Structure 1
Amino acid sequence: MPTKITLVIDNPDDPTAFEPTYAQIDSTARQLPGLRRAESAKVWPKEDGTPTPAYRTLDLYFDSYEDASAAVTTETAQDLFGRLIGSGVPFTGLFSDIEPE
């Protein structure tokens, strides 16, 4: 079954300073073996000025759970998660079964 890995990246202390790091994270993620499609998004600011629940999302699409699981065991994934952890910005990773439309 098609599988998506979603990375939900919390709000950094300094979003402007985080952007170059995020560009490297995004670029590295797009090199994962078996990746079929990647979608990067920035969460819209709230109209009332309160903090958003997250800063960015990165969706990584694979043909199967097995492909996604294999991808996260590679050196590319080590680099990707090393960059995420090294940024100091908390994140959540989710594996999801993509349901047919």
Structure 2
Amino acid sequence: MPTKITFIIDNPTDVEAFEEAYAPLVELATQLPGLRRTESARVWPKEDGTPTPAHRTLDLYFDDYDAASAAVTTPVAGELFTRLGELGTPFTGLFSDIERA
């Protein structure tokens, strides 16, 4: 079953600095072995001005769970996770079975 890894990235304290550092991370993610598709999205601001529940999402699509699991054990993934952590913005990572595209 197709699998995706989703990173839900919290709101950074310095959006401009975060965005500058984020773009190279997406490029690095495209180097993961077995990756079929990448989707990066920015959360729309709320109309009432209150903080959004997250700032960005990054979805990485693979043929199946085994391919996704293998990809996260590579040096590229290690660098990706390190650099994502160095941004100083908390994030959550999820593995999901894609039931319907």
Q: What root-mean-square deviation, in Å, do the aligned CA atoms of Structure 1 and Structure 2 show?
A: 0.7
Q: Per the alignment, in what secondary structure is the counterpart of residue 8 of structure 1?
A: strand
Distance in 1, matches of 2:47 and 2:89, equals: 23
Give deviations 1:44-68, integer Å, cap 9, x for gaps: 0000000000000000000010000
**Which stretches in structure 1 are left out of the alignment for 5+ residues?**
none
Q: Map 1:1-101 onto structure 2 (within 5 A).
A: 1-100=1-100
- Percent identity at matched positions? 70
Q: Per the alignment, in what secondary structure is the counterpart of residue 16 of structure 1?
A: helix
Output the TM-score relative to the length of structure 1. 0.97
What is the total number of aligned residue pairs between the two structures? 101
Q: Per the alignment, in what secondary structure is the counterpart of residue 24 of structure 2?
A: helix
Distance in 1, matches of 2:48 and 2:3, equals: 35
Distance in 1, matches of 2:68 and 2:50, equals: 35
Q: Per the alignment, in what secondary structure is the counterpart of residue 28 of structure 1?
A: helix
